[in-house]
């Protein structure tokens, strides 16, 4: 495992980067952002000492879904690649359990929001069939829920 030290504002990885590692924070804080440094920038999460981030890259080997940025000077992270993960698993079973719990929480939130989106769209369609218009109509609702869905794919929580 490699140790890296970042200064405040330094990017650990960027949305869209190739990924096959995760990180455990030894000190400092890391912010996770969607659309970093764009008008649509949104902070999705803040992680501190002992927490992990970037696990989706290790597990899926897909491009990064968000950008990770050091929020404090001297933020120290340990980088864990796929080959090292089995050792990490044996050495830190509590951390692995917390990682699985975090992923489960994200999936549960996504499911809740998906159900709510389906219910709202269905109610809007029914209202429009009856000649009623609800909160801007179906088109605006569909756009809103498409945006929410994209956010949850990236681990974002609803406002």
Residue range 55-87, pLDDT digits in tens: 888 888 899 999 999 999 999 999 999 889 888
Between CA 21 and CA 106 the distance in angstroms is 19
Q: Which residue has the tokens 């190739």?
A: 18
pLDDT score recorded for residue 145: 64
Tell me the CATH class for 2-91.
mainly beta
- What is the arrangement of strands in the sheet containing 52-53, beginning at the earlier edge strand? 2-6, 75-81, 21-27, 52-53
- What is the arrangement of strands in the sheet containing 30-34, beginning at the earlier edge strand? 11-13, 67-70, 30-34, 42-47
Alpha helices in 25-92 (DSSP H): 55-60, 82-91
Q: CA 80, 38, 47, 97 torsion: positive or negative? A: negative
What are the angstrom distances between the C-alpha of 154 and each of 37, 67, 71, 118?
16, 10, 20, 19
pTM of the model: 0.69
Between CA 79 and CA 102 the distance in angstroms is 19
Is the pLDDT score of 143 beyond 50? yes
Between CA 69 and CA 110 the distance in angstroms is 24
Confidence of residue 36 (pLDDT cuts 50, 70, 90): very high
pLDDT score recorded for residue 159: 46
pLDDT score recorded for residue 139: 61
Between CA 92 and CA 27 the distance in angstroms is 17
CA 139 to chain centre: 27
Percent share of the chain, pLDDT over 90: 42
Confidence of residue 6 (pLDDT cuts 50, 70, 90): very high
pLDDT score recorded for residue 71: 98
130 or 54, greater pLDDT: 54
């Amino acid at each position: 495992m490699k140790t890296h030290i970042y200064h405040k504002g330094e990017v650990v990885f960027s949305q869209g980067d190739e990924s096959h590692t995760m990180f455990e924070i030894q000190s400092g804080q890391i912010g996770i952002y969607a659309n970093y440094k764009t008008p649509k920038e949104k902070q999705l999460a803040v992680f501190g000492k002992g927490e992990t981030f970037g696990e989706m890259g290790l597990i899926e080997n897909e491009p990064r879904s968000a950008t990770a940025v050091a929020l404090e000077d001297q933020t120290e992270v340990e980088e864990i690649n796929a080959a090292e993960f089995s050792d990490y698993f044996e050495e830190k079973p509590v951390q692995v359990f917390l990682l699985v719990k975090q992923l489960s929480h994200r999936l549960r939130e996504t499911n809740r929001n998906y159900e709510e989106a389906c219910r709202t769209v269905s109610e809007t369609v029914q209202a429009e069939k009856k000649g009623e218009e609800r909160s801007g109509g179906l088109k605006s609702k569909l756009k809103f829920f498409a945006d929410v869905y994209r956010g949850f794919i990236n681990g974002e929580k609803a406002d």
